[in-house]
Amino acid sequence: MTLSTHQQPALETCSGWQLGAPLYVPALHPDLLKIANAEKIPFIRSMIICTEDAIFERDVNKSLEQLRQFLPFIQTMDSRYRFIRVRNPQVLRRILDLPGIENINGFVLPKFDNHNRESYLKELRNTRF
């Protein structure tokens, strides 16, 4: 499941064709900012930054630190979409508190089902967006 924040361009007016095929990038990728700002791969329309299955459990804190340093520097005056695939509701809470999170278009919630739905939604309801 993907949820959008208030960030422009609005996903409500975006079709799947506009998103294109998202580039899936681990949160620990050394060129994360260059990829997000289309310096390294200029033709991407959307990307998913992964903190879930692309990151070992032992590296979650390191990936969140990289996101903390990365998020404020995303260029938002373009037509690219950027999402974060969170690991679980607890990681979502930590990510929502990061400076620059408003530069993200939305979140991918892995393995979203009736068992974890309320936990994810609780975190999203408690955010400043």
Parse the chain into domains and list their residue ranges.
2-6+33-125
- DSSP run (H or E) holding 64: helix 60-70
| Chain mean position to CA 35 | 13
Helix then strand count (H, E) for the chain reads 5, 5
Q: pLDDT at position 12, please?
A: 53
- DSSP run (H or E) holding 17: helix 16-19
Q: pLDDT at position 8, please?
A: 45
Fold of the 2-6+33-125 domain: TIM Barrel (3.20.20)
What are the beta bridge partners of residue 48?
A: 24, 83
d(CA 49, CA 60): 13
Q: pLDDT at position 20, please?
A: 77
Q: pLDDT at position 13, please?
A: 56
pLDDT tens across the length of the chain (129 residues): 555 444 444 545 565 567 778 999 999 999 999 999 989 988 888 999 999 999 999 999 999 999 999 999 998 878 889 999 999 999 999 999 999 999 999 999 998 999 999 999 999 987 765
d(CA 62, CA 26): 12
Pair 20, 47: CB distance under 8 Å:
no
Q: pLDDT at position 76, please?
A: 84
State if pTM tops 0.75. yes
